[in-house]
Structure 1
Amino acid sequence: MPDSANALPRHVPVLIVGGGQGGLSLSFLLQQQGIDHLILEKNRIAHAWRAERWDSFCLVTPNRQCVLPGFSYAGEYGGKDPHGFMLRDEIVAFLETYARRVNPPVREGVAVTRVAPREGGGYAVQTSAGAMTADKVIIAISGYHTPIVPRVGAALPASLPQLHSLEYRNPQDLPEGGVLVVGSGQSGCQIAEDLMLAGRQVHLAVGDAPRAPRVYRGRDSTDWLEEMGHYDMPIAEHPSSEKVRQNENHYLTGRDGGREIDLRAFALRGMKLYGMLDGVDGQTIRFRQDLTQHLDAADATYLRIRKTIDDYIEREGINAPQAEPYVPCWAPKSDPETLDLEAQGIGSVIWCTGFRMDFSFIDAPVFDGRGYPGHDRGIATHDGLYFIGLPWLHTWGSGRFAGVARDAAHIVDHIAAALAPREQAMA
């Protein structure tokens, strides 16, 4: 790959902002089309996987779904565990191997600070290494930018360490004592389990994220759902339409070969569960009286997924083992109202409360009131601007390894078609 110290070109036909799986996929396909381009990566290739995940982090989708243009886990990479779930460092190694195969034109350590349309077409781009222009700009930096820490965190005792899930690495790095984890999405549940397995007393403020089965009727649930075409459903055909982009991800884990996450089972093992955090009075945390509601709602989603699979098996006449009926293993006698930080020996708080998108460096009229870019399958409403890697950009897999190749191909085909008339005129 080119030396990041080289000076930036004054102009490129296509500029890609971000060097993750989306940017690498685009580069592979652009090279196949013979389209000159450049990737600018603020940090290093695969930085988000490398530096923004905790030590025990692993995929929740099977390795076999890691299929990038010209490169797949079970194929060119030669992975030996297609039904397993890569750990963080294995994901980085997978992407580094792909980067060597793609050999993209990339400048690492260069931040893009402004992208603005130019009069007459194309874009002016300001970077930490100088200015340049581009005919087309593709934003490949996902949608997880600014960590969200609720304002109520400011009311916690100043002596109590707080960190966001982005900063969490392992239980050993935390101060001694119990840990309050706020949020029960993918990160919250997995971090809470990581701490529990390390022997920490965990207090988990449960939100409205749903849960999903791991292995059901003899197969991983993702195998069934993929076979049913669930992951190929475009957002335009989803019952919730664009509202699905605001949904919480289902929680489950790929840890130790993959298993379900059942917060009720965690409670039986000693984890303390609460409703959503509602306020702080000195050393006392107040919670909403909605723990039972959230546990029941998560189970309802879990059972709906099981029934969807049951109906498919029956409809297709598939011979699959029967499943035991689901029976909740635990229920709270009452929804806890408060937590005394001092009495319970809480030594730290981890905010697993998500991220906000921050595309403020893009000075183009494409964003709605929430800051979400207007686009059709990644093709923005302003000519020459594109997005890739956003959750439900087109399908469920758009923000994951499962769908990025398809999205990249669609964008590159659109760019190739747009650039062809200009090239023909210059011939």
Structure 2
Amino acid sequence: MSEEETEAVVVGAGQAGVAMSEHLSAHGIPHVVLERHRIAERWRSERWDSLVANGPAWHDRFPGMEFPGVDPDAFASKEQVADYFVAYAEKMGAPVRTGVEVTSVRRREGRSGFEVRTSEGTIDARFVVAATGPFQRPVIPPVVPDGAVRVQMHSSQYRNARQLPEGAVLVVGAGSSGVQIADELRRSGRRVLLSVGPHDRPPREYRGRDFCWWLGVLGRWDAETPPQGAGHVTIAVSGARGGHTVDFRALAADGVELVGMTAAYEQGVLRFAPDLAANISMGDAKYLELLRAADAYVERNGLELPEEPQAHVLGPDPTCVTDPRLELDLAEAGVTSIVWATGFAADYGWLEVDTFDERGRPRHRRGVAEEPGVYFLGLPWLSRRGSSFIWGVWHDARYVADHMATRRGYLSYGSTDTATNSEK
């Protein structure tokens, strides 16, 4: 027999779990939020020391509270972001239990709901929300064998340049994490190579407005499906040092050597795909397209925003792009470390229900799983492009809570046995 019962169990107390709790409370739905570490733990212990949010404080927040002590146009540090969610949970009275790990969730036999097994006992719940987000299991492609260089680590393990042994560093991945880590390592005096794959490269700011504002007024945060082939394309944008547009030509001018995608390894030699120029060109095209859309919006709406003709001038490609390196002898180049900024994979091994496809991806619509009573929150493109951002997950949580409240109303009608059996 279970030790506790509640209407809903929310697994994870990051931005998704905290937002979910607020909306469940607004509907009067009894619930608990279970977190195996601390609130917003990944912001504290799985990010590098100098990380800041990629969106300005006026944008990357929940509607109910501003960032205390942070200028609206500034970028909150990782500790400020974590503190924000702790304070928000306290403000909302979120029933968060930290230090509690969920080990399994199974549908109950003969009646509706789920048995949630945890490190502190078992909870019976009618609904379960998987709010663990997309950053669950670091992915390192099996390209370079152990021992080929002194250190290989995922970007979630990287903290600062002092952590790495002396020598050159290869950073693999050109999204926000990869470009910021490569830039930081180069500024520390290291020789750095950056392996660049397909990416989106918006301007940090254009005509006096942040790219987050431009995507908002242009309606692009509301896109419900990614452009073909862009579902997993990384976004190269930075809030570091007050925020700046990621410019691969500037990185090359500062001494970062750009190479194509890391393809293969054999006998100490790493080979790169001959796709560097194409990847840079595609990123440029997306950058310039957004500038043109912004210009058209300004003209159409008669806005008085300063023109920036120089933003459209990209300049010549550096030699490392026009004559790219296709292979690298790691020992000869003095590469002692590889930092893999290659993203994460989901890990729902604890969620033992029938709502995943053959690749282990959740089957859902706007967070509502095919398995009745199960919900997902915090995933990229959960409902739209903005789902990955702090404010986006808040709106997704409201939709999920509304859906849960509606289902709860149906289940509460009539006799308990009839209602619960209809959920099977």
The amino acid that maps onto 2:65 is S
Which residue matches 2:335?
A: 346
Contact kept in structure 2, 1:377 and 1:407, CA below 8 Å: yes
User: How many pairs align?
Assistant: 410
Aligned to 2:55: 61
Measure how far apart 1:265 and its partner are.
1.0
2:82 to 85, 88, 92: 92
Q: Within the alignment, does 1:326 sit opposite 2:322 as a pair?
A: no
**What pairs with 1:18-417 in structure 2 (closer than 5 Å)?**
18-68=12-62, 71-73=64-66, 77-119=67-109, 120-154=111-145, 157-158=147-148, 160-235=150-225, 240=228, 244=230, 246-323=231-308, 324=310, 325-332=312-319, 333-417=322-406
Q: Secondary structure at the match of 1:152?
A: coil
Structure 1: distance between partners of 2:149 and 2:178: 23
State whether residues 391 and 399 of structure 1, in contact with CA within 8 Å, keep that contact through their aligned partners in structure 2.
yes
Deviation at 1:422, TM superposition (A): 4.2
SS at match of 1:386: strand
Q: What CA distance in whole angstroms lies between the structure 2 residues aligned with 1:376 and 1:285?
A: 41
CA offset digits 1:78-131 (Å, max 9, x no partner):
444111111111111211211221222222111112112223211122222222
Alpha carbons of 1:205 and 1:165: their partners in 2 closer, same or farther (altered >3 Å)? same
Q: How does 1:410-425 map to 2 (within 5 A)?
A: 410-423=399-412, 425=414
Distance 2:208 2:117 in 1: 53
What is the CA–CA distance in structure 2 between the aligned matches of 1:416 and 1:379, rounded to whole Å? 12
CA drift of 1:202 comes to 0.6
How far residue 359 of structure 1 moved from its aligned partner, in angstroms, is: 1.3
Q: 8 Å contact 2:23–2:398 — kept in the other structure?
A: yes
CA shift, 1:225, in A, is 1.7
Partner of 2:422: none
Contact 1:202 1:271 (8 Å CA) reproduced: yes
* Residue 317 of structure 1, CA deviation: 2.5
Could you report, residue by residue, the CA deviation over 1:359-404 in whole angstroms, capped at 9, with x for unpaired residues? Answer: 1221222112222211121111111000110011012221221211
| Amino acid corresponding to residue 207 of structure 1 in structure 2 | G
Structure 1 SS opposite 2:58: helix
Amino acid at match of 2:23: L
Q: For the residues of structure 2 that align with 1:320 and 1:103, how far apart are their CA atoms? A: 42
Distance 2:19 2:387 in 1: 13
- What is the distance in 2 between the residues matched to 1:72 and 1:224? 23
Residue 394 of structure 1 aligns with an amino acid whose one-letter code is: S
- Alignment check: 8 A CA contact 2:175 2:237 kept: no
Q: Alpha-carbon deviations, 1:241-297, whole Å to 9, x = none?
A: xx65x3313201011211011111111111111111122223321111221111111
Gaps of 5+ in 1: 1-7
| 1:287-309 alpha-carbon deviations (Å, 9 max, x no partner) | 11221111111111111111121
Q: 1:101, 1:190 → 2: CA distance? A: 33
Following TM superposition, by how much is the alpha carbon of 1:418 offset from its aligned partner in structure 2, in angstroms? Answer: 1.8
The 8 Å contact of residues 225 and 309 in structure 1, kept in 2 or not, is answered as: no
**SS across alignment from 2:331:** coil
Please state whether the residue corresponding to 2:8 is helix, strand or coil: strand
Aligned-partner Cα distance in 2 for 1:371–1:55:
32
**In structure 1, distance between residues paired with 2:169 and 2:115:** 47
One-letter amino acid of the counterpart of residue 375, structure 2? Y
Partner of 1:5: none
* Alpha-carbon distance in 1 for matches of 2:274, 2:121: 54
Q: Which has the larger displacement, 417-426 or 118-127? A: 417-426
> For 1:56-85, what per-residue CA distance to the aligned partner results, in whole angstroms no more than 9, with x for missing partners?
11111111123326x222xxx544411111
In structure 1, C-alpha distance between the alignment counterparts of 2:336 and 2:16, rounded to whole Å: 39
CA shift for structure 1 position 158: 4.4
What code does the residue aligned with 1:419 have? R
* Secondary structure, counterpart of 1:86 in structure 2: coil
Q: CA deviation at 1:425?
A: 4.4
Kept after mapping to 2: 8 A contact 1:157/1:283:
no
What is the percentage of aligned positions where both structures have the same residue?
Answer: 38
CA contact (8 A) 1:142 1:399 kept: no
| 8 Å contact from structure 1 (residues 43, 110) kept in 2 | yes
Contact 2:167 2:191 in 1 (8 A): yes
Hey, what's the Cα distance between the residues in 1 that align with 2:70 and 2:182?
A: 29
| TM-score, length-scaled by structure 1 | 0.91
Distance 1:36 1:48 in 2: 26
State the SS of the aligned residue for 2:20: helix
Q: Distance in 1 between matches of 2:220 and 2:213?
A: 10
In the other structure, the counterpart of 2:419 is none
Contact residue 265 and residue 330 of structure 1 kept, 8 A? no
**In 1, are the aligned partners of 2:169 and 2:190 still within 8 Å (CA)?**
yes
TM superposition shift of 1:343 = 2.1
Contact 1:58 1:85 in 2 (8 A): yes
CA distance in 2, matches of 1:383, 1:51: 34
Cα distance in 2 for residues equivalent to 1:186 and 1:159? 24
TM-score by length of 2: 0.92
Deviations 1:24-73 (A, max 9, x none): 1121222222211111111111111111111011111111123326x222
